Amino acid sequence: MTRQRYNKSKCRDVISRVPMLFMALAFVMSFVSCAPHKKLAYDFVRDAKGTSVAFYLPNELEKKNIRKDCQIENLYHIETEYVQDTIEARTKIVNKIDDEMFLDILFASFESTLKDYDLSLEYWENENSKADSLHWVVDLSHIEILEYIEYQMAQCVVEGDYEMIPSVGVNVAAWIDLVNGKEANFVYTEQSFYEQISDCYYTMDSLNNIILNAEYQSITIKDFYDFAVLLGKLYAGYSFDYFMNEYVKKEMKKKGLEYSDDIYMRYDPYEMYIYYTGNDKLIEI
């Protein structure tokens, strides 16, 4: 693979509804102020149909195990010859990932999702061609995968009684170059998935010590490859949304209309509607 969502009673009634009237008016004003954004966004969706997208992935993944229970300095109580075996045994994901398989799954999911947006995967670049409004480049230049320990709040036995319980998590961060004109934009995104605590309870050992027990819906390497499918869909959707919002920004400024970076939209190709979001998007670097 190459680089690869009118009487006193009436008067009192009117007065009681003033707050509601103001709220309704505020909503209408907000809708009107955002209407140009949405219209331009829908224009983009219409005009982008048939766009060719060149998608590249890195040749390999950067994988790190940052679990505290796998750091050598925290394994001083284990005999030296067993340290590495202990680390390997405790590690659940990063030491089992097949880079090529993960990237193949991600690539296939990205390509399949492009079709949902009426886009196509096509490598059209050469020394005489450049990215433009109908030819985009999505270069996922770097992927970093971290396995770590996070603490989740779990209710154990008594209602209102909570314990912070460690669980294994995996974070996938991606750095992406996006080009559909003269400018290239470097963006970032990261997503995580982790073990779910299904139950926790206390028991006592033979010395009457209270022991906390936790049951997990453990994560496996198969779960991680399933996660790669979700990432492929997300990266394709995020890239489309970024280009759409950049188009809206430029057109708003070109028309002399007030534009706010706080307004960010996403397009749902399955329900075919545009909605506003806060953090569900790519982050510019």
Q: Which residues contact 240 (CB under 8 A, 6 or more apart)?
A: 48, 117, 119, 267
- Identify any residues that bridge with 201 across adjacent strands, giving them in sequence order: 213
The model's pTM is 0.80
Hunting for tokens 């499918």 — which residue is that? Answer: 229
- Write the DSSP string, 128-167: T---BTTEEEEEEEEEEEEEEEEEEEEE-SSTT-EEEEEE
Average pLDDT over residues 223-245: 97
Query: 93 by DSSP, 3-state: which?
Result: coil
> Binning pLDDT at 50, 70 and 90, where does residue 47 land?
very high
pLDDT at 24: 47
pLDDT at 5: 31
pLDDT at 33: 46
CA atoms within 13 A on the CB side of 110: 25
- Identify any residues that bridge with 14 across adjacent strands, giving them in sequence order: none
Q: Is the dihedral of CA 246, 187, 172, 4 positive or negative?
A: positive
> Binning pLDDT at 50, 70 and 90, where does residue 93 land?
confident
> Binning pLDDT at 50, 70 and 90, where does residue 207 land?
confident
The token pair that represents 61 in the structure block: 């993944």
Measured distance between the N- and C-terminal CA atoms of the chain, rounded to whole angstroms: 27
pLDDT at 25: 43
pLDDT at 21: 47
pLDDT at 69: 62
- Identify any residues that bridge with 146 across adjacent strands, giving them in sequence order: 64, 171
Given a contact cutoff of 8 angstroms between Cβ atoms, the answer to whether 124 and 135 are in contact is yes
